[in-house]
């Protein structure tokens, strides 16, 4: 794969426990070189959430995958994840950047406007995540960011069909969640297809 090719970023469903998800995660990670994994948590119990991250993070980290925890700096640090993904460009993101940078990764999502994205970039995050159910609007936002800013951009692909357009638009990483976990062929096949698409896009002149 070209060094300029977009890389794959997986995000879990909101998890209330780790055991049942472990086989799906292992299968997806077996598909090839995955850059990052975002662990989403369903509950508010910090101790239980730490247990979930401790159970799943090494499965990915042992394969060279960076593991982030959604919206909890404390859980990320205590469970030895590689960073945290924070919603919005407000005080929570500022606080996360102060506590985690530069040793840990700090990502920002839930950035509906261009101003939100630029504010997150100014805070010094390691990436911004763009999501939109309107694929054309998402492609436009990714292209705008890629052309003007150096902070890496993650684009969430709702389906495998969205992967190529987002990579072509300039996303540094393409995030997949339900499109992998709910694929009837299984997560390994879905992740492998996504990786093949990214490799093909990266090989284009």
In a domain, 108, yes or no: yes
- Residue 58 tokens read as 């090494």
| Confidence grade of residue 1 (pLDDT, cut at 50, 70, 90) | very low
- Mean pLDDT of the chain, nearest integer: 96
State the pTM of this model: 0.97
| Confidence grade of residue 204 (pLDDT, cut at 50, 70, 90) | confident
Distance of alpha carbon 205 from the chain centroid:
26
> In which domain, by residue range, is 19 found?
7-189
**Positions of E strands within the chain:** 7-11, 36-39, 66-70, 83-87, 105-109, 127-130, 153-156, 173-176
**pLDDT recorded at residue 203:** 77
In a domain, 61, yes or no: yes
| Confidence grade of residue 23 (pLDDT, cut at 50, 70, 90) | very high
Residue 202 has pLDDT above 70, yes or no: yes
Tell which residue, 177, 152, 131, has the closest CA to residue 83: 152
Residue 180 has pLDDT above 50, yes or no: yes
Which are the contacts of 117, defined by CB distance < 8 A and separation ≥ 6?
89, 111, 128, 130, 141, 145
In a domain, 203, yes or no: no
The CATH number assigned to the domain holding 175 equals 3.20.20.70
In a domain, 177, yes or no: yes
Tell which residue, 92, 37, 96, 41, has the closest CA to residue 68: 37
Q: What is the DSSP-derived secondary structure letter of residue 15?
A: B
In a domain, 90, yes or no: yes
Average pLDDT over residues 183-200: 98
In a domain, 77, yes or no: yes
Structural domain count, the chain:
1
In a domain, 194, yes or no: no
- In the chain, % helix, strand, coil (3-state, to 5) comes to 45, 20, 35
φ, ψ (nearest 5 deg) of residue 177? -130, -90
Q: Mind listing the pLDDT tens digit for each residue in 135-178?
A: 999 999 999 999 999 999 999 999 999 999 999 999 999 999 99
What whole-number percentage of the chain has pLDDT above 70? 98
| Confidence grade of residue 3 (pLDDT, cut at 50, 70, 90) | low
In a domain, 184, yes or no: yes
């Amino acid at each position: 794969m070209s060094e300029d090719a977009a890389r794959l970023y997986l995000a879990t469903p909101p998890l209330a426990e780790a055991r049942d998800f472990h086989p799906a995660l292992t299968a997806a990670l077996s598909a090839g070189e995955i850059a990052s994994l975002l662990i989403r948590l369903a509950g508010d119990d910090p101790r239980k959430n730490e247990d979930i991250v401790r159970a799943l993070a090494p499965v990915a980290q042992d394969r060279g995958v960076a593991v982030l925890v959604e919206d909890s700096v404390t859980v990320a640090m205590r469970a030895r994840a590689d960073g945290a993904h924070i919603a919005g460009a407000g005080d929570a993101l500022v606080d996360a950047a102060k506590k985690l940078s530069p040793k840990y990764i700090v990502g920002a999502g839930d950035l509906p406007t261009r101003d939100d994205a630029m504010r997150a970039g100014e805070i010094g995050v390691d990436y911004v995540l763009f999501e939109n159910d309107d694929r054309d609007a998402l492609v436009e936002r990714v292209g705008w960011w890629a052309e003007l800013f150096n902070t890496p951009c993650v684009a969430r692909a709702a389906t495998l069909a969205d992967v190529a357009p987002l990579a072509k638009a300039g996303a540094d990483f393409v995030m997949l969640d339900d499109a992998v976990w709910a694929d009837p062929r299984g997560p390994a096949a879905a992740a492998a297809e996504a990786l093949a698409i990214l490799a093909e896009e990266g090989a284009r002149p």
